[in-house]
Chains A and B, each alone.
Chain A
């Protein structure tokens, strides 16, 4: 009798304990992650759409905007259906999560005990990353791709390519088990999208007129500014808490963006003769990309060096590599996101400061970390390249990828959407 009673008391207490734990909502973390999620939405809609739209030609700016907007909308749906489960479901052989575990939010409830905010916020915050990654790729495809083919591509890519890579790095998959550092998505987001962009450019082929002559540089500047602002949600939000790591990520983000803006500007000034606004804006993005994997791991000197090294490398990739090889990566998705992403991922292994993020890098004696970072880079590049090519070749064989030459010259806005950006 006494035994039964104590059992009941024990159960009651443990029940109480559980209830008390579940009720422990960290309002600070919750408030920050709500805001951070919204900031990352703002990066794509409209930040990236305007950045890309301004860089493109006036006859296809709307198509370019539509690609970003629809990527966001479509990936929202694929993410809540299966994407989130593949990335964050129970691990299957280190490769992917159980794809139907959280089907349309099934079983996501209560407070995440690790972070103190509602588990639903994880679904929301990570959704914004999947969406912008897919939208980023579109910059390479603009000016010649059928809109229907883009929608199918975005749908397939956001299920087959993004979520497994996110799982490897963040969802408990094999790269995180090997200790690869990727604070906010240098590998998962930027290298992944950059390589997909390069492969897509090769499969789609060149546009008839492949010149990059922006139709509105002020829109480019506005888009870059919105991306910079939204990136605080992306990087500081990746601390998954309102804490010192988030503060590190925020200051590092702005320091790298500023350094890279200047570094790109001076590289261009010396190499091409003029410091352009397109160049300053591009430098900002290169810096933001490069600091993304490192934001919560490096100190301020590390952030300065990452921005200063990544921007000139991205600049010369765009200015020299692209013309040399002749691929039509229209808005330099590979040149900026791929190259700065790779540089950032490797330099994270060099400059990681144990007093910031707990892991030492090369300069603190941990030589192995650079190698671990390189493995993450190479694995992601290969996977993204192979699967992106498979998706595009399948679409090419079925629905076709390119609009007709006549539609391309006329412009995708009127040919694909029946509207014009500027009516006089």
Chain B
């Protein structure tokens, strides 16, 4: 099992979510996050003075999937979240040791 963490542009969230649901992903966790990469920060102007805001708002989607679904999910996220401009985000793929469904105590892939 793998966890896929995708940092994307906030306005792409709905599109990505719908696309993932369409390919059969049954759940996800979404967090509003801040950070910077190649895009760096942005500037805001108050009373005529420009301030550099270092951290930009992004959305982090976390999905845990079976190994064989990883490529499909990554492909879907890349396809839907891409604008082609700097700041589209990143996807991290991490190994997952185990999964527990709290309601039943089930473990492993069937608990995803």
Q: Return chain B residues, CB-CB under 8 Å to A318.
A: 47-49
Q: For residue B11, which residues in chain A have a CB less than 8 angstroms away from its CB?
A: none
* In the complex, B71 has a CB within 8 A of chain A: no
Contacts of A264-288 to chain B: CB distance below 8 A? 268, 271-274, 276, 278-279, 282
**How many Å lie between the Cα of A238 and that of B54 in the bound state?**
48
In the complex, chain A residues whose CB is within 8 Å of the CB of B51 = 211-213
B50, CB-defined interface residue at 8 Å: yes
Query: Which 8 residue pairs of A and B lie closest in terms of their CB atoms, listed nearest first?
Result: A319-B48, A272-B45, A318-B47, A211-B51, A212-B46, A272-B48, A278-B46, A213-B51
**Residues B48 and A268 in contact, CB atoms below 8 Å apart:** yes
| 28 contacts across the A-B interface (CB closer than 8 A) | A211-B51, A212-B46, A212-B47, A212-B49, A213-B44, A214-B46, A268-B45, A268-B47, A272-B45, A272-B48, A273-B45, A274-B45, A276-B45, A276-B46, A278-B47, A279-B48, A282-B47, A315-B47, A315-B48, A316-B48, A318-B47, A318-B48, A318-B49, A319-B49, A320-B48, A322-B49, A332-B47, A335-B47
Q: Using a CB–CB distance below 8 Å, which chain A residues touch chain B?
A: 211-214, 268, 271-274, 276, 278-279, 282, 315-316, 318-320, 322-323, 332, 335
Main secondary structure, interface of A, reads helix
Question: Contacts of B48 on A, CB cut-off 8 Å?
Answer: 268, 271-272, 279, 315-316, 318-320
> How far apart are A282's CB and chain B's nearest CB, in angstroms?
6
Main SS of chain B's interface residues?
Answer: strand
Residues of B within 8 A of A322 (CB): 49
Chain B, range 24-82, C-beta contacts under 8 Å to A: 44-51, 53
A92 CB to closest chain B CB (Å) equals 42
When chains A and B are docked, how far (Å) is the Cα of A50 from the Cα of B7? Answer: 36
Which chain B residues lie closer than 8 Å to A315 at the CB level? 47-48
Q: How far does the alpha carbon of A282 sit from the alpha carbon of B48 in the complex, in Å?
A: 11
Extra inter-chain contacts (20) besides given A268-B47, A322-B49, CB under 8 Å: A212-B47, A212-B49, A212-B51, A213-B51, A213-B53, A214-B46, A268-B45, A268-B48, A272-B48, A273-B45, A274-B45, A276-B46, A278-B47, A279-B47, A279-B48, A282-B47, A315-B48, A318-B47, A318-B48, A319-B47
